[in-house]
Amino acid sequence: MELLNILFEINTGHGLAALGAGAAAIGAGIGVGLIGKGALESMARQPESSDDLRANMILAAALVEGVALFGIIICLLVVLG
Amino acid sequence: MGKGAFIRDYLCVFLHRFFEPPRSMIIRHTKRLAFSALLMGASIIAFAQTDGHDGEEPHEQMSHSTHDAHDTHDAHDEFIAGEYIIHHISDANEIHFFGNVSAPLPMIIYVEGKGFDVFMSSAFSSDGDPHDVHAIKTATGPSTGTVYIKDPETGLRSEGGEAFWDISITKSVFGMLFIFSMLIFMLRAMAKSYSKNPGKAPSGLANVLEPLVLFVRDDIAVPIIGKTKSDKFLPFLLTTFFFIVASNLLGLVPFIGGFNITGTIGVTIVLAFVVFFITTVNGNKHYWGHLFWPPGVPNLVKLLVVPIEVFGMFLKPTVLMIRLTANMSAGHIIILSFVSLVFIFNQNYGGVAGIGMGVFSTLFMIFMYFLELLVAFLQAYVFTLLAAIYFADATQEPHH
């Protein structure tokens, strides 16, 4: 926390951090939306492979979400750090 | 349409979504992210508002270190959402139940050259109000006589500047010890019940835990690592899965101090390091060959690919660590943001707004709690799944 305090001690960071959190959410929204779209379409075409698809869908969503949370955590540290 | 009908319809949709089988998981995921962004925005606005109350420029206030900010807030009755949330999700030397009720935990400090100091964290005292979270508190070590100063901003330090190692039983450590003992008890009881009545259907505790064990074996380890090699990694995968599930669920139990074990970076860094260690130790010739000398790639491109691959080797466990920490902390932050909203509305718009917000917040908090129950299992699943994928990468045989 202390190091990040020093790293992020910039005056203009706070408003931009809010924008950053929004941008991260937009990115994740698009990413997870595309995954959901792909998974649903595939499930509709081949309902018998639903179980496999669901596992892979969750995995891909988790990967996208990880990146988005990375961004949101940095924004949070800018604001609160 | 009347208002009552609208609310009833809304509740129907709401409840219907709730009790549906989890096929709409992805929709909820997106929702969760949208929520976290929304609430973070809400707490940022709250921040700006409470800062503005001092009659100072918010910008100037923010350029100060947080310590200065505290001195200007001489009246601590003002509610600062960000501070409140960070205080609740970070590790502490006491278990805070509610209001001023908290249980002290033992402090174990090794002072270099002098020896160990063991005392309860309730020994820390200050001149002013004992429940003031901003107060700088002091305590004297019983065996070495070192005076320890606990500053809420900068952490623990010794008065004389002596170097020391703080290996206290903190809230997270206490929670982990509790989980370890609980898991050892439960899983041993389960194992015993199998040897007691072999060949029969499991009963009791074994019946509860068997689906989870089978899930990790049949849905994670065997399909990804392969039948023959998965036996080697299964003990680790099962241990990790149960540890993460148990600590995530412990964090969701209200009124016992809000443990945030898997949201503590120190815990996940160790978990991720163990995954990295096992991957590296088990890496076969094929794995290292692909890492440092990928076959079938032109030599010039290798210059580009090899550094990326080596960087990726370290990046994978790092992302594993951040995903778990961020997800679990985000869940706590969302719920605490709803709590904060009540106080913010009460403070800025009066008591009636506070009560109205309280009703709204409680409903959403219940919703978030259910969502967090799902996330608790989902994150344990994702961590175990990715660990299994990395192990599979390290041990796969050449097939071309």
- CA angle, A42 as apex, A41 and A47 as ends, to 5°? 110
Interface with A, mutate which of B25, B30, B154, B216 (most A CBs under 10 A): B30
Do B370 and B281 have their domain in common? yes
CA-wise closest residue to B346 among B99, B87, B100, B77:
B77
Q: Is residue B270 assigned to a domain?
A: yes
Which tens digit of pLDDT belongs to each residue from A17-73?
Answer: 778 888 888 999 999 999 999 999 999 999 999 888 988 888 888 888 878 877 877
- In this predicted structure, what is the pLDDT of residue B275? 96
Contact B219/A55, CB-based, under 8 Å?
yes
Helix, strand, or coil (residue B389): helix
Q: Do B41 and A68 touch (CB under 8 A)?
A: no
Confidence band for B247, pLDDT divided at 50, 70 and 90: very high
Name the domain boundary from B137, B168, B199: B168
- Classify the C-alpha dihedral B276-B278-B284-B285 as positive or negative: positive
d(CA B116, CA B113): 9
B-interface mutation test, from A69, A70, A74, most B Cβ less than 10 A away: A69
Residue B348 shares a structural domain with residue B335: yes
Residues B336 and B214 in one domain: yes
Phi, psi (deg, nearest 5) at residue B119: -155, 165
Q: Tell me if B360 is assigned to some domain.
A: yes
CA distance linking residue A37 with residue A62, whole number of Å: 15
Give residue-wise pLDDT tens across range B20-33. 333 333 333 333 33
Structure tokens belonging to residue B383: 């961590």
Q: What are the pLDDT digits (tens) for B124-160?
A: 888 777 677 778 888 888 888 888 888 877 788 888 7
Q: Does domain A2-80 have CATH number 1.10.1740.10?
A: no
Within 8 A of A35 by CB-CB distance, chain B residues are 26
Residue B84 lies in a domain: no
Question: Which residues, including other chains, have CB under 8 Å from residue B384's CB and lie 6 or more apart?
Answer: B216, B220, B237, B240, B241, B244
In this prediction, the answer to ipTM > 0.85 reads no
Name the minimum distance, in Å, from the CA of A27 to any CA of chain B: 10
Q: Which residues of B touch A33 (CB under 8 A)?
A: 30
* B373 confidence band (pLDDT: 50, 70, 90): very high
Domain residue limits, chain A: 2-80
Structure token digits, residue B63: 């350029």
- Residue B89 domain-assigned (yes or no): no
